[in-house]
Amino acid sequence: MAYRNLEIVHRGAVRTITINRPDKLNALNRETLNELTLAFTQAAQDDDVRVVVLAGAGEKAFVAGADISEMNGYTPVQGQGFSRAGQRLMSLIERLGKPVIARLQGFALGGGMELAMACHLRIASDKAKFGQPEINLGLIPGFGGTQRLLRLAGRSAALELCLTGAPINAQRAYELGLVTRVVAPEALDEAVNTLAEQLAASAPLAAAGILDAILQGGETSIDQGLEFETQAFALAFSTEDMREGTTAFLEKRKAVFHGR
């Protein structure tokens, strides 16, 4: 289908979803949230898609935040609905069952940082800036920022970033565990594409099991998480991919996984 605010590109098993509102620094309005929700739902349902890359158009911003011009007129009920729509999208991305890589350049602020944190891996240009500046608008993060920031970077960093609203650079984000890798701007596309292709060639059912074990098991006690891991590990023995992977290792050849 045609999207007003997104561009979708396919390259083998990799689907790139680009938020295309560069004149608004790719700000998230309600329409864009709805389109992203549909695009990620389609990616989840398409067996030919093994990896998703999420990007923002232009070099100034990944996503500079939510669309303030739209939010300015919201009632409390509309604000609640906007927050829930954003949180549904972030949870959909986080629980997609396929690796999602965020390509981060320029600003990733407010809703943009929340969107990046919902992705599984984040590769940033060393020129990128991150922050949760909602307090400067008399607001709090509404798309999961308080909760994912707490889980990724810890209580102290979450309080600092949310209470001060001050941006941080890519190196500081890396030190806090908010970014997987930092590269020079001219190396960003190569780094993202190389990682995406590597993940696309790996066993998709095993990837889904890893995502489930870490994301779901990580919200439970250690004993429950270990049991979750054991069950997912055992389930992998029922797959053709597991037989292919182990046989290829013994035969000293490259495995070819089919997601079965």
Domain boundaries in the chain? 6-200, 204-250
Q: Which of 31, 134, 160, 227 is catalytic?
A: 134
Secondary-structure class of domain 6-200 per CATH: alpha beta
Residue 239, pLDDT above cutoff 90: yes
CB atoms within 10 A of CB 81: 13
Q: Which of 114, 197, 244, 251 is catalytic?
A: 114
Is CATH 1.10.12 what the domain over 204-250 is classified as, yes or no?
Answer: yes
First and final CA of the chain: distance in angstroms? Answer: 28
229 is catalytic: no
Q: For residue 54, which of 1, 84, 96 has the smallest C-alpha distance?
A: 96
How far apart CA 257 and CA 251 sit, in angstroms, is 15
Q: Tokens at residue 158, please?
A: 């979450």
186 is catalytic: no
Residues 34/71, Cβ–Cβ less than 8 Å: no
57-77 mean pLDDT: 92
Residue 161: what pLDDT?
A: 97
The pTM assigned to this predicted structure is 0.93
Q: Give per-residue pLDDT as tens, 189-226.
A: 999 999 999 999 999 999 999 999 998 888 888 999 89
Q: Residue 160 burial (CB < 10 Å; 0-12/13-18/19+)? A: middle
Residue 1, pLDDT above cutoff 90: no
